[in-house]
Amino acid sequence: MKPFDRLLLENKAWAHEMTEHDPGFFQRMSQAQTPEFLWIGCSDSRVPAEQITASEPGTIFVHRNIANLVVTTDMNVLSVLQYAVDVLHVKHIIVCGHYGCGGVMAALNKQQPQIILANKWLKHIKDIYRLHRVELDLLPLPEAKLDRLVELNVIEQVHNLAHTSIIQKAWRSEQRPELHGWVYGLDDGIIKELISLNADSPMDPLYQYDFS
């Protein structure tokens, strides 16, 4: 059996099992989605949003990219964000990074010729490193430096969300969503909370929109 045939076979078994367990499940799923959460995570195969939070289909609207970045000129993440906030009315947005992130690790090194496109994407993390260089360069071990940059990257991405007009508008009119920055441990499966921002959180005036 080819590896992808196994995926298709597993899918049939899964659909069968779900129907056995809950005969109305797919009927309900086919009607509409009302997820309470938007998840912005890393594309890393070891950090699947639903599995690590034991969430059923329909619970989390998911966007994943290399190193869980919220680049405010990226039409992909902005489209997902706007749909999640303005149409799905999610209550929470979670940016979830993970320790040992290859994207963050790559950003700590010189530009690599074999990832000429990803270099441009990862440049955003180099900028975060530059912003926190004093703190990061004090850390003696390369692993500690990577772990801390992973955390700082998550925190920065949560602020990037807060700096969008989409979030500021929703905060002003509906006092939601709450923004969360989390980091996942590949070695223990545990999620740690790093930051939480809501409509009442202070914001640098440089990034504030004036909607009046």
Looking only at residues 150 through 179 of this chain, which bind Co ion when binding is defined by CB under 5 A? none
Which of 62, 101, 149, 179 is in the footprint of Co ion by CB under 5 A?
Answer: 101
Paired residues of 178 in beta bridges: 92
| Nearest Cα to Cα of residue 46 among 153, 194, 184, 148 | 184
Nearest to Co ion of 103, 181 (CB atom)? 103
**What number of other Cβ atoms are within 10 A of residue 32's Cβ?**
8
Does the annotation count 42 as an active-site position?
A: yes
Nearest to Co ion of 49, 101 (CB atom)? 101
From the candidates 6, 28, 46, 172, give the one annotated as an active-site residue.
46
Q: Would you give the binding string for Co ion spanning residues 34-73, x where CB under 5 A is met?
A: --------x-x-----------------------------
Nearest to Co ion of 62, 170 (CB atom)? 62
Does the annotation count 96 as an active-site position?
A: no
Nearest to Co ion of 81, 122 (CB atom)? 122
Does the annotation count 180 as an active-site position?
A: no
From the candidates 98, 124, 159, 180, give the one annotated as an active-site residue.
98
Does the annotation count 101 as an active-site position?
A: yes
Q: Which residues bind Co ion (CB under 5 A)?
A: 42, 44, 101, 103
| Catalytic residue list | 42, 44, 46, 98, 101
